Structure 1
């Protein structure tokens, strides 16, 4: 066996191993989706007896024909964006826009930037977005009738002028949080 044949044989073994790994990753993704569905539905954390997954969840790896690399499964959700990254994305976005963004516009802009709120559907995501925004009172204000805006940035059309950094009380005239935004 010459050097080229040895390399081709090694390549074939690697391709077969990658196919095995892709299959196993796909099975882990399926299990993750099942686990997430239990959390999303407030269901028990143990599979029911009619589950397709018994005590042996993952079969022994077998040699399979080489396949294309594993793509995320339909319905597979990315993990929720951590709060620090979420805050950074919101601040960057609001520093780029010319007027405040209401909740729906902010949600759309964040999802276009691959920020994952993490709820199972858009309606829940919008509520989670509002909750996350309420934790950003030091940086963000909700200008009544307009939407979310940077606390340190004036918005004269909405009558918003930044106050002193230490004044975060609702009576500061910065527009109260309006859940309809």
Structure 2
């Protein structure tokens, strides 16, 4: 039962820790840009389940970077990380230091699509607007339904809105008890050869 529950959360790309501590630093924030992809390798059973399914992947979750009031934030779709009692699973905006907090990440990276910076910034704006609209988390993991989003779906969707194909049509086949089908996993985005590392860390 625990295994099946972990896999149900697998495509949620989340970590379940509640305590929030500031992550290591400093980071080369002056090198970051709106629209950069932000990856993390999470902690715990659910993140391990993602990595098992995403056999070639190093990361279990992804979001998109945007500077808000002079501080870098990550826009991402995540379940199980409420900001307050009664908070719903949704697309949310949170500071990078929280996204990479030591209780949430053992590895992280910022990667940049080698496209016009205005297109990348436009993708970040699209993601911001989805967060402001309160777009819900896609618990059905249905790429055909764009009214709700899971983590990789969000990143791929907002880049497609500005004419950039990050996933290049890649999907991963997941075929385990309790979960089966084709899903968009973090490595399906990271394998894009136009995606170049800006910064990486591991603990």
TM-score bracket for the superposition, by shorter chain length: under 0.3
Of structures 1 and 2, the one scoring higher in RCO (CA 8 A, sep 6+) is: 2
Q: Under a length normalisation based on structure 2, what TM-score does the superposition of the two structures give?
A: 0.21
Higher strand proportion (structure 1 or 2): 2
